Structure 1
Amino acid sequence: MEKRELVHLPIHRHPLIPRDMSILHCEMCLIRQKNSDGYRCDSQTCLFVIHRECAESPLELHHPYHPPHPLALRPLDHDLGEASQLCSFCAEKLIGGWVYHCPDCKFIVHLLCARKPPAVDLVQPKSHGHKLFLLPKPRIFTCDACGLTLDTPSLPCACLQCGVILHGSCVGLPRVIRISRHHHRLRYASSPPPSHEAWCCGVCRKAVDGQYGAYFCVNSCRYVVHAKCATRKDVWDGEDLEGMPEEPEDVEEPFEVINDKVIRHFIHEHHLQLNEVDSARLDGSEHCQICALSIRIHPGNIYRCTQCDCGFVLHETCANLPRTTWHMLHPHRLKLQTCGTEVDMCDICLRHFSGFKYDCGREDCYFKIDVRCAAVSEPLLHITHPHPLFSLSNLFRGKACSGCKETDSFSTKMECIECDFCLCFDCITLPPKVRWYEQDRHPLALGGGGGGEEEGGENWWWCEICEEKMDPGEGLYYTCDACCVTVHAHCLLGADPLMKTGHYSDPYVDPDSVPPRPTEFETLANISCSRPFCRVCRRRCPFPTVFRAKGHHFCTYHCLNFCVWF
C-alpha cells in the first residue's frame, strides 16, 4: 500500500493530504479554480480543503498599504459580525474565509486582496476620465462614483487633477449595461443631466443625489439608477455593452391564428377553440395546462382542444403568454418550457408547481420561475392595497408579509414606498377574482391583509368552507358583499394551488434514501362524496386536490414528502 504524504501546516490542527482542487471551493479564499492543486484534511470528520497557494500564505504580513502595524492571518470571526464588514482594500463585504487583520485597528482585508492589492496608479479607469492614484491610508469617505459612505475605512482611489475620490470597487464600473428593471440600455454618467424634477432610483426608489455618478437611460425616458443598485447581481448580468451594437430581440408568437376563435398553440398539436367557461364542467377536475390553476375558479374565457377525447384546456390569458420574456428579479432572458411529468420549485415564491415554467436561457444559470410569478412586474397595483408595490431589495430578513403574516427569511417580497405594507409572491399571485360554485352569481374578490378598510378585533366573520371564525384584519380571503359569502384564500385554492391533476415523478427524491420515499405519485381532484384520509395528518383531506402514492392519500405535497415509508 502506497504511503500517503502528510503535510503539517500551522493554519490547521490536523495533517493535510495533497489533492486536486479543480472542483472544490477553498476554505481560505472561497474560490474554485480550475487546474489548481491543494490539500484536504486527513481526518474523516473534517472537510477542510485549501489551495496550495493559500496554505503557504504567511501568518504575519507587513503590507505597504498598512505600514503602522503588521497584519495577522486568521479565519473570519462570524460571532463578532465580521462577515458583514467591508474589506479595507476593495470595499466589498468580507462574507467568509480567511482574512488579514490588524489587531490594533479596524484594518481588515480579504486574503486575495492582501496577496494581490490594487494598483498604485490607474491610467484609464472606466468610471473616470483622468488617471487615479491609490492612497495608502484607509479612511471613511463618500465615493464620487456611487455616492455611498461606507461604515468602515477603506483605501480610496483619488484623482489629483480634479479631486474625485472613489472606492476601489467603483473604479471599474461598466460604461453601458442592461438591467432587469428597464427595457432600454443604461449609460454611466458622473452626474445627472439638469432637471427641474428630483431624480428617483428605478430599483430602490430612493432619491438620486445629483453630485454623484449614476446610470441613465440611453433613450429619452427619465430613468436613473444608483450605481450600486444597477450593478447588483440580481439586476445586472455582469456584461459591459459599450461598443456592442444593440440588436432587436426576436419575438416569436405563442400561437398561430386559424380564425377569430381558433388557434394552434405551440405547446399542443391540435387546434384550440375559444369558449366561455362551461359550467357543466366546473367540478374541479380540469386545470390549465400552463399555470396549473383549476378551471373552476377562473372567471375568464378558456381555450379548449377541438378533439373531444383530448381534454387539453388553457386560460385565455395563459395562451397569450410570450415564449420568451424578461423578469425584474433576474438579469437574463427567460424561455417558456414545460415541466413535463416532473414537479419543480419556483426560485421566487419557493412553491412546488407543475405545468409550465420560465427557464433561464443560459447554460450556466439554473434560474426557474412559475408562470404566475413571471407575470408580476412593477409598479404592481394589487387589489388589497391602494398604493403601488415595488421590489426594492432582495433581503427581507424577519419582515412579515402583510397578507399571510409569514416571516420566511428566504421569500421574496414587494413593498410599498408610502407605508409599511409588503406582500410575498404567494399572496401577490393569488387570483384577484375567483368562482367558487357554478351557481355563484358573482365572482369572489380577494381582500384582507390590512391594506383596505377592514377591521379586526370583535368583527368576526365565518369561512363558508372550513366553518371557522375569521378575523378580516388577519390573512387574505375571498368575499362577495352582495351575497355575504366569505372564505379563506387557502381553503378555496388549497395548500398546493399550482399542482394540476396527473401522474408525476419527483426528481429530488433519492431512490436509495432511508427510509425510502416514493419517486412517483398522482395528483387527483378531491371531488368524491367521501373525502379520503391523509396518511400523515390522520384527518380528511380538505383541499381541492389530493396526492396518492403507494395506495395512500395525502392532503398536501408537504405530507407526501415527509411521510415515513416502511
Structure 2
Amino acid sequence: MVHGDCIGFPRVIKINRHEHSLYHTCFLGTGEWMCGVCRKSINGKYGAYRCCFCKDYAVHSRCATRKDVWDGLDLEGVSEEEDIETEDFVRIDDSLILHFSHKHRLRMEEKKEDGDFVCSGCAHPIISETFYRCDSLCDFILHERCANLPRTRATVLHVHLLTLCTDDRSHLNDLSRCDACDLYFNGFRYRCLECKDDHIEFDVRCLSVPDPFDYHHHPHPLFFNILINENEEAMTCDVCYHMSKYWLTCLECDFKICFSCATLPDKVIYKYDEHPLCDTFGQSDSNPYWCDICEHKIEELRNRYKCDECGPVLHVECALGSFRNMRQGYTFMTQHGKKYEVVLNDRISQLRCSHCDNDCHEPFLLMSTTSIDVSIYLCSSRCFTDYDVSV
C-alpha cells in the first residue's frame, strides 16, 4: 500500500545536504540507518532515498523531498558528473594573482601582528593571517581564504546552487542583509540567481559554517535546522536569546544557537588591552561583570568577551556591534532616498543615537547628513531599520 502523495516520489534527486545524487528505493534494508536530514532513525523495512557512492547514507523520503532540501528536479536519466574544482583567480607566480573581483594584480603578503587592514571580501580585520594586497597600492585587500572562495557553492541554507558576487559599486544602493544571521553586510556575498523575486543571499561567514558544527562552548556537535512552516514560532537562541529562522541545534540536549552567534570570532582586539579578549559563554561567577565600554551590568550566563589576565569584560554588542560585517567608509543609498556612511565610533565625543536617543556604544555607526548639514547617527541595525522607514 502506498499513500497517494507518496506514489509520485521522483526516482533520482539531488539534495543540499549531500554531494551525490540519491536514488529512491522501496526497501532500504536491514541495519541501523540514520536520516541525513533530520538525524533520526530510519526503519529499513520501508522506502527511503539512498546514495550509491556512500553506502551508509540515507534520507527519509519525506525529509529528502522537503522544499528546503530538494529543488524539485527529477534527475532520472541525467548523468552525474564529478565536480572539478578550479581556481577562481589567475596565478601569475607564487606570490602574485589576478582575482576576478579586482582589476589590479594582488600580491601575497606575510602575516601581520599589527596594522589596520580590513578584508574587502568579508569586511573583517586581518589579524596574523596571510592575505593578498593590491599591487597598485589601492585599498583592496583579501584574506587568503577569501581569495580562494569558490565561484559557485551548494549549501544546506538553500536548495539552489549559490553564486559568489561582489560589491556592485555602479550604484549606491548595494546594501545586503544576510538571510541566515540577519546582519547587514557588504563585500562578497553568495546569491541565488534562480530566486530573483526573493533576493536570497548570504554573507561568506555564514556559508562557511559546516554541518555538523563544533561549537567551542558546547560538548556535542550541532546540526543545521530551518523554520519551514511560516505559522510555526521562530526559535530562540540559547546564547543571545534572539529569535531566528535558521539555527544549529544539538540532538542530545536540545541546545540551540543562531548563525549570528555561531559566526562570532573566538578572540577580539580591545585597544585598551595588550591581550586579545576571548569569547566566554555559560560561566557563572559569584561577582557580577560590568562592561568596560558602556559600564552596564552583563547578565549572568550571557555571552561576553573577557581578558583573563587584565580583567576587561565587554558585551558582544559593545565589542563588535551589529554593523560588524560592514567596512568603515562604506556608503550606500536606501530605497527611501537616504544616503548613509559606515563610520568608526571613537567613543570620545559621546554621540547619541538619533532614533533611540541612547549613547552610542557600538564600534561602528551609520551616519547620514541632512540637507541642513545636521549629522544623524544610528547605533544599531534595529535603529537603522526603524529610522529609515519612519523618517
Q: TM-score range by the shorter chain?
A: 0.7 to 0.9
Q: Deviations over 1:452-486 (max 9, x none)?
A: xx226x44223232233224412x11233344343
Q: Deviations over 1:181-226 (max 9, x none)?
A: 000111111122343xx11101101010112111111213411100
Structure 2 partner of 1:356: 188
1:437-448 correspondence to structure 2 within 5 Å: 437=271, 440-441=274-275, 443-448=276-281
Q: Which of 215, 219, 223 is equivalent to 2:53? A: 219
Q: Is the Cα–Cα contact under 8 Å of residues 459 and 471 in structure 1 kept in the other structure?
A: no
How many residue pairs were aligned? Answer: 376
Kindly indicate whether residue 380 of structure 2 is the aligned counterpart of residue 556 of structure 1: yes
Partner-residue secondary structure (3-state), 2:5: helix
Q: Deviations over 1:56-103 (max 9, x none)?
A: xxxxxxxxxxxxxxxxxxxxxxxxxxxxxxxxxxxxxxxxxxxxxxxx
> TM-score, normalised on structure 1?
0.62
Q: Deviations over 1:398-436 (max 9, x none)?
A: 532111012x2x521110011021101111111123333
Q: Deviations over 1:482-533 (max 9, x none)?
A: 44343221111012211222343345x244xxxxxx2x21111223742433
Distance 1:361 1:560, change over 3 A: closer
Partner-residue secondary structure (3-state), 2:49: strand
Partner-residue secondary structure (3-state), 2:81: coil
Distance 1:462 1:438, change over 3 A: closer
Kindly indicate whether residue 354 of structure 2 is the aligned counterpart of residue 523 of structure 1: no
Cα RMSD of the aligned pairs, angstroms, is: 2.4
Q: Distance in 1 between matches of 2:307 and 2:92?
A: 38
Kindly indicate whether residue 112 of structure 2 is the aligned counterpart of residue 277 of structure 1: yes
Distance 1:302 1:478, change over 3 A: farther
Q: Distance in 1 between matches of 2:35 and 2:93?
A: 45
Structure 1 partner of 2:372: none
Distance 1:540 1:233, change over 3 A: same
Instruction: Give unpaired runs (5+ residues) of structure 2.
Output: 370-374
| Deviates most, 493-502 or 360-369 | 360-369
Q: Is the Cα–Cα contact under 8 Å of residues 29 and 45 in structure 2 kept in the other structure?
A: no
Structure 2 partner of 1:28: none
Q: Distance in 1 between matches of 2:288 and 2:273?
A: 26
Q: Which of 337, 354, 364 is equivalent to 2:165? A: 337
Q: What displacement does 1:278 show?
A: 5.3
Q: Is the Cα–Cα contact under 8 Å of residues 337 and 357 in structure 1 kept in the other structure?
A: yes
Kindly indicate whether residue 19 of structure 2 is the aligned counterpart of residue 183 of structure 1: yes
- Identity among equivalent pairs (%): 38
Distance 1:315 1:444, change over 3 A: farther
Distance 1:528 1:455, change over 3 A: closer
Q: Deviations over 1:229-251 (max 9, x none)?
A: 00001100111111111123353
Q: Is the Cα–Cα contact under 8 Å of residues 255 and 265 in structure 1 kept in the other structure?
A: yes
Q: Is the Cα–Cα contact under 8 Å of residues 344 and 365 in structure 2 kept in the other structure?
A: yes
Q: Distance in 1 between matches of 2:92 and 2:147?
A: 14
Q: Distance in 2 between matches of 1:188 and 1:521?
A: 52
Partner-residue secondary structure (3-state), 1:381: coil
Amino acid at match of 1:352: Y
Amino acid at match of 2:364: T
Structure 1 partner of 2:5: 169
Partner-residue secondary structure (3-state), 1:307: coil
Q: Distance in 1 between matches of 2:221 and 2:150?
A: 24
Q: Is the Cα–Cα contact under 8 Å of residues 111 and 130 in structure 2 kept in the other structure?
A: yes
Q: Which of 468, 476, 493 is equivalent to 2:320? A: 493
Structure 2 partner of 1:291: 122
Extract structure 1 runs of 4+ deviating beyond 4 A.
Answer: none
Distance 1:525 1:258, change over 3 A: farther
Kindly indicate whether residue 366 of structure 2 is the aligned counterpart of residue 532 of structure 1: no
Amino acid at match of 1:291: C
Q: Is the Cα–Cα contact under 8 Å of residues 366 and 377 in structure 2 kept in the other structure?
A: yes
Amino acid at match of 1:287: V
Q: Distance in 2 between matches of 1:231 and 1:483?
A: 53
Amino acid at match of 1:322: P
Q: Is the Cα–Cα contact under 8 Å of residues 12 and 23 in structure 2 kept in the other structure?
A: yes
> TM-score, normalised on structure 2?
0.88
Structure 1 partner of 2:76: 242
Q: Of the two, which has the highest radius of gyration?
A: 1
Q: Distance in 2 between matches of 1:468 and 1:301?
A: 37
Q: Is the Cα–Cα contact under 8 Å of residues 277 and 302 in structure 1 kept in the other structure?
A: no
Q: Distance in 1 between matches of 2:129 and 2:294?
A: 26
Q: Which of 237, 249, 256 is equivalent to 1:401? A: 237
Q: Distance in 2 between matches of 1:192 and 1:533?
A: 63
Amino acid at match of 1:327: T
Instruction: Give unpaired runs (5+ residues) of structure 1.
Output: 1-164, 512-517
Q: Which of 345, 355, 373 is equivalent to 2:206? A: 373
Amino acid at match of 1:463: C
Q: What displacement does 1:377 show?
A: 1.9
